[in-house]
Amino acid sequence: MAAPVTLTMKDLQSPVEPTWCPGCGDFGILNAVKRAMIQLKLPPHQVIYFSGIGCGSKLPDYVRANGFNSLHGRPVPLAQGFRLAHHDMKVVVVDGDGDSYGIGGNHWLHIMRRNPDITHIVQDNMVYGLTKGQYAPTSMKGYVSTTSPEGTIEYPVNPIAIALAAGATFVARGFSGDPKHLADLIAKGMEHKGYALIDVFQPCVIFNRVNTYDWFRERVYKLEDEPGYDPHDLNKAWEKAHEWGERIPIGLFYVNEETPTLEEQIPALAQKPLYQQDIPPPVEMLEGLKEIFV
């Protein structure tokens, strides 16, 4: 099972053609994911993508790797179960803002305080695309949609601030209009030992006529270009997490390499992955349990 020396885009080509609309921001994410695998020399059998439901969650079928297209909002706990059973595998969750910031919000909150070594890419288009244009948890206040004809009256979720507050150890934001930069963030997230959130601005060219490629291009700037910005500074990250309007930061907001991962703290995983461990336990050991009850 040795990794091939070189990996090309061709090695990661799936036989399935994407069904996304022309110009969809998801193409940039697909491209970035493949680039990250090449950059890290990760062969297809050593990676698994867990997705939710939505346009972007079709991604596992479009990259040659292992995949699991699950339920709306549920890939996060599914990925944790898999990771605990097979911790040699690079585990990536790819889902949408409706998945993890909406219906699966509770799972998202709790994965962050556990810090398993899972990379979480959230395709954040601020709209519900596959159900044809309803507002999303990240839609800006006043956003007009089929279910908010007079504009939303809710404030949007701030994923970066929530992730920082919840104890995420790697918090980043990318833009699918800049797949090279995004690939680099994804690769960094995959290399990070612990939970890595990569929120991705991903324009929906059909339903979101507000947050377009141009809208983002006019506003986004890279944190690494900010003189003196140190992603180890939680207070600075908190400040940048709330910057929204004329200028919107992308890049790595925060990283903390000190926090142990969930897997490291579980005695059963100290020797080898769970799936490789022999079952059942020795009969003599089981017999010993009877003494508890006599």
Partner 1 sequence: MVKNNCTIKLGGEAGQGVESSGMGFAKAIARAGLYIFGVQDYMSRIRGGHNWYQIRVHTRPLYAHETSVHLLLAFDERTVHDHSAELVKGGGVLYDDGLKVDQSSLSAMDLIPMPMPLLKIAEEVGGNKLMMNTAAVAAAAGICEFDLSYVEQVIRDNFGRRKGSEIADRNIRVANHAYEEARKRYAHLFEWKLEPIPGAPRRMVINGNQALGLGTLAAGCKMVSGYPMTPASTLLEFLAGQARKFGLVVRQTEDEISGILHCIGAAHAGVRAMSCTSGGGFSLMVESLSLAGSTETPVVIVLAQRPGPATGLPTRTGQEDLLFALHAGHGEFPRAVLAPGTIEQCFYHMARAFNIAEKYQMPVIVMTDNFLANSIRSVEKEAFDFAAIARSIDRGALILPHEEDKVTQATAEGYRRYELTENGISLRIPPGHPNAVYSVAGEEHTPEGFIDWEETAHNRNLMMNKRMKKLTLCAEEDMGVYEFYGPEDAETTLLCWGSSYGPVREAVDVLNSNGMRVNMLHFVDIHPLHWDAVGEVLDRCHTVVAVEGNFSAQFSRWLTMNTGRRPDAKITRFDGRPLNPDFIAAELHKALIRV
Name which of 264, 236, 266 is nearest 251 in CA terms. 236
Residue 16 or residue 144: which is nearer to partner 1 going by CB? 16
Name which of 53, 47, 59 is nearest 18 in CA terms. 59
Closest separation in Å from C-beta 279 to partner 1: 3
CB 74 within 8 A of CB 36: no
Residue 89 or residue 140: which is nearer to partner 1 going by CB? 89
Residue 38 or residue 71: which is nearer to partner 1 going by CB? 71
Q: Give the pair of three-digit tokens for residue 280.
A: 């059942």
Closest separation in Å from C-beta 285 to partner 1: 7
DSSP 7: -
Give the interface with partner 1 as residue ranges (CB under 8 A).
Answer: 1, 15-16, 19, 43-46, 48-50, 58, 60-61, 64-71, 74, 77-86, 88-89, 106-107, 109-110, 266-269, 274-277, 279-281, 283, 285-287, 289-290, 293-294
Count of all residues that appear for the chain in the document: 294
Closest separation in Å from C-beta 209 to partner 1: 26
Task: Classify 87 in phi/psi space as left (phi over 0), alpha (psi -120 to 50) or beta.
Answer: alpha
Closest separation in Å from C-beta 105 to partner 1: 10
Q: How far apart are the first and last CA of the chain?
A: 49
Closest separation in Å from C-beta 127 to partner 1: 21
Residue 50 or residue 216: which is nearer to partner 1 going by CB? 50
Residue 131 or residue 148: which is nearer to partner 1 going by CB? 131
- At 236 the three-state DSSP class reads helix
